[in-house]
Amino acid sequence: MLNYEFPPLGGGGGVASYKLAKGFVDRGYHVDYITTWFSGLKKYEVVDGIHIHRVKVIGRKELTVATMFSMISFPFLAYRKAIKLCKTKNYDFINTQFVIPTGPLGVWLSKKFKIKNILSIHGGDIYDPSKKNSPHEKWYFRKVINWVMNNSDFIVAQSSNTKKNAIKYYNPDRDIQIIPLPYEPFSFEKISRNDLGMNDDIFYVISTGRLVKRKGFDFLLKSLAKVNKVHALIIGDGPEKNNLQELAISLGLLDRVHFLGFVTEEKKFQYLSQSDVYILSSVHEGFGIVLQEAMQIGLPIISTDNGGQIDLINENENGYLIQFGDDIALAEKIELFQKNNELRRNFSDCNMEKINDFRTEKICNMYLRLILS
């Protein structure tokens, strides 16, 4: 498996591929996973049976955010390690995560050693409307992406939206399979609202993710200003934190918006379990792992409608879809859940059932059917 990210480095794509790798291990495969090294991390270790090989890249300055130089350098600097492994191991297949930046590495190895390569595209690696340097806007990225896709044995998109964008902007000459990201329920100690410093009499919406423009937390804050007696919990950190705090002050929300920063996985799920509604306010999402986490807890969901989240949300069953920037619509949906406990319970039951569709075993089998077909 090839991916420039692996927890704790990176975001949701790294977490998803880690779960997928563990699923292959559980099915009896030996998995070598080549990823990026960062200060404080081991260059080699075994995590849940996955053999992690970390290589130094140029300019990686943060755990959560990759610089352009660090991404561009990864396939070149990881090549030597990958060659060494391929010479000593008889691999059944390669799984390359992210067409940019990891894609070229998977193609090079696949061609050199004649190993089948499954390319997994995540969404933001081919299309990110919140960035001026989004791959679909740059001719040189489009050229590389098209070459990687057309030289991979299989292409997997984790959502119908990602598949749609891949065809629209790159038009590969082979089929694209839709296989969602795997999910395994997270076990955590349940505690009370009081233990978390939350008030039993307050209605809480919650949202998690890196504080970057694409996540649209400013949209969430503007909507919250139109609703009375609702507090928001925001878990995560990033370059937009100061801007969001200033916006909260200007909107008079400082006492109703709680920036919790980075917390442990257990603490995150404890906050989720004590909240009332989950909100995804992103400009675009390739998939939306955070929605799977909300589903596990049984949280009703309000989400923007641009991205892979449309595959996870069934309108009027487990959540609502709204347009990004429509702060009135978001405010109205929050108030709807605030006033209707029965509606929240119905959506909650639906989500706790639906999360079983993403069990890692099911997702791994879908991948393996590609190789074995």
Residues 168 and 204 in one domain: no
Residues 155 and 233 in one domain: no
pLDDT per position as a tens digit, 162-221: 999 999 999 999 999 999 999 989 999 999 999 999 999 999 999 999 898 989 999 999
Residue whose C-alpha is closest to residue 282's, from 128, 163, 121, 98: 128
Residues 129 and 215 in one domain: no
Burial 1-26 (b: 16+ CB within 10 A, else e): bbbbbbbebbbbbbbbbbbbbbbbbe
Residues 118 and 153 in one domain: yes
CB atoms within 10 A of CB 348: 18
Residues 50 and 160 in one domain: yes
Q: Could you give the strand order of the β-sheet that contains 31-36, starting from the edge strand earlier in sequence?
A: 31-36, 50-55, 44-47
Average pLDDT of span 108-128:
94
Q: How far apart are CA 320 and CA 325, in angstroms?
A: 15
Beta bridge partners of 96: 2, 119
Boundary of a domain, candidates 150, 179, 208:
179
Q: With cut-offs at 50, 70 and 90, classify the pLDDT of residue 329.
A: very high
Q: With cut-offs at 50, 70 and 90, classify the pLDDT of residue 243.
A: very high
Boundary of a domain, candidates 155, 179, 203:
179
Residues 143 and 286 in one domain: no
User: Taking the mean position of all CA atoms in its chain, how far away is CA 327?
Assistant: 24
Residue whose C-alpha is closest to residue 230's, from 208, 213, 255: 255
Question: Does a structural domain hold residue 189?
Answer: no
Cα dihedral value 41, 45, 51, 56, nearest 10: 40
Which pLDDT does position 132 carry in this prediction? 79
Q: 248-252: which pairs have CB atoms within 8 A and are 24 or more residues apart? A: 248/221, 251/221, 251/222, 251/224, 251/225, 252/225
Beta carbons within 8 Å of 286's beta carbon, 6+ residues apart:
13, 122, 123, 124, 125, 158, 159, 161, 162, 307, 308
Considering just the CA atoms, what is the radius of gyration of the chain in Å?
21
Whether residue 147 contacts residue 174, with contact meaning beta carbons closer than 8 Å, is answered with no
pLDDT per position as a tens digit, 248-304: 999 999 999 999 999 999 999 999 999 999 999 999 888 888 999 999 999 999 999
Question: Does a structural domain hold residue 75?
Answer: yes
Residues 248 and 160 in one domain: no
What are the CA-CA distances from residue 230 to residues 241, 264, 271, 275, 297 (Å)? 21, 25, 15, 11, 20
Q: With cut-offs at 50, 70 and 90, classify the pLDDT of residue 135.
A: confident
Beta carbons within 8 Å of 356's beta carbon, 6+ residues apart:
none
Average pLDDT of span 338-351:
96
Share of the chain above pLDDT 90, in %: 85
pLDDT per position as a tens digit, 28-54: 999 999 999 999 999 999 999 999 999
The position carrying tokens 């705090």 is 245
Beta carbons within 8 Å of 146's beta carbon, 6+ residues apart:
170, 171, 172
Q: Count the domains in the chain.
A: 2
Question: Does a structural domain hold residue 184?
Answer: no
Residues 86 and 202 in one domain: no
Q: With cut-offs at 50, 70 and 90, classify the pLDDT of residue 115.
A: very high
DSSP 3-state assignment of 34?
A: strand
Give the tokens for residue 297: 């807890």
Phi/psi for 56 (5° steps) reads -70, 140
Q: Print the domain residue range for 19.
A: 12-179
Question: Does a structural domain hold residue 363?
Answer: no
Residues 223 and 172 in one domain: no
Residues 198 and 334 in one domain: yes
Question: Global pTM?
Answer: 0.86
Would you tell me the crossing angle of helices 341-354 and 327-339 to the nearest 10 degrees?
Answer: 100
Whether residue 214 contacts residue 304, with contact meaning beta carbons closer than 8 Å, is answered with no
Which pLDDT does position 267 carry in this prediction? 97
CATH number at residue 287: 3.40.50.2000
Residue 10 has pLDDT above 90, yes or no: no
Residues 145 and 226 in one domain: no
Residues 293 and 146 in one domain: no
Cα dihedral value 32, 34, 38, 41, nearest 10: 0
